[in-house]
A and B are shown apart, each in its own frame.
Chain A
């Protein structure tokens, strides 16, 4: 390698190393707490003398009064996330198909209203949403969370699906019409199979959004047996005698599924979700 090449490498490392430390430090610290015995977690050491999986055992066996409902709360998170993913797919795919392919009257207006919802900060909608769920009698019911998160996930999903859908050739619809296919047949037999990559991206997006959400979950759900793992972690914090190492262990467990799901569907996610953004 020549001198200039070495200089370029050095410059890249000068950016790369701080980026690595910056990205990994909070995650490393989380892991550090999870594998440290109780008395060593707070010693400020960079690696415990005796790493242990004891904390995981305590969490998995629910052997602490904060963790009495660990598995149930994990299930709640999963149930809500999957329900939001599926519901968003149903709502958004139908809307995108109607707007983009069937050119339904008023479709443009609906698209604009959806975009408007997408741009309004979610925290601004949280208070009215909370009051509304009270009016509907849905507070402390997991459906309030599922419906609220679908409302938040749907606009972007419709937009991304519409962008992808607009790119499908128009001849496809015409050919289907010539063959006497009904709109529903076109939707199910032609449109859905062609849209599969975008549908995977959107389903994953909505699922992760719901799994990771804290604010809405904490406003809409409150019973220990109803809440998601995220809310349970927040409740830990409210107490003075919180077992920090267990809190961090539970946090690490809570963070793993979305990371795994993201990496599994990464190739769909990156293409599907950034394609629309670049256009503008």
Chain B
């Protein structure tokens, strides 16, 4: 088991390295770095380059990248131009908010999709099945930021039940979580339904009925536990989608997370901040997905058996 964890971890490192290079490379290509913005209007290219050298930002791309990575490993992501603070501080200040939103949205998604998927599967081909599938389809196809704005119109502006932005207290997380969750619920409902349809046909349910287990228990204990396996398997990528979707939602709801931070960093051409955000975001996402995968391997008896032998 430990070996499996170590192996996965080691395989992850070169991927992260490559990711950091790709992101750095792309962001580096973007016109306008700190120095050229700070330099006086009439400075020549040579003078700007000299300024870069002085500030430790000169050299060829590989040199700059190496320097960046060394600093990253030391925990230094540079300083944000727009916020006048170390990128690292700004990022970690905001990251928990994004995590909170992502997890809240997954909870919302599960609350919607699991019962709906079960209802659709156990009432296969009835109107309930059709209606659930149409709803799921709509959820999948809706732009999340549009749904967010619609919810703001209805619940914030017209009804005044929830705030339309900021992060003050429990109420402010509800609308963004529902928005983000609804989008994911579309896909999760479909998966729950098809998984449940698979499981319902299985022989072991007949064994349970022959034992005298009540129909309710057959569905909610015997069948459901099996049907949820695919959902749990994709929890990692669900989280990935949630974190990715948070970027737009944070903007809609002025939620103080790293998604909104990244977008405003780009809009203000604060490349150091933007680069740091995207790289850190990706690193954390990959790490989280690895942890989820390992936790799953640990929890599923079939996989656990493979690794303890």
Q: Do A and B form a real pair?
A: no
B-to-A contact residues, CB < 8 Å: none
A-to-B contact residues, CB < 8 Å: none
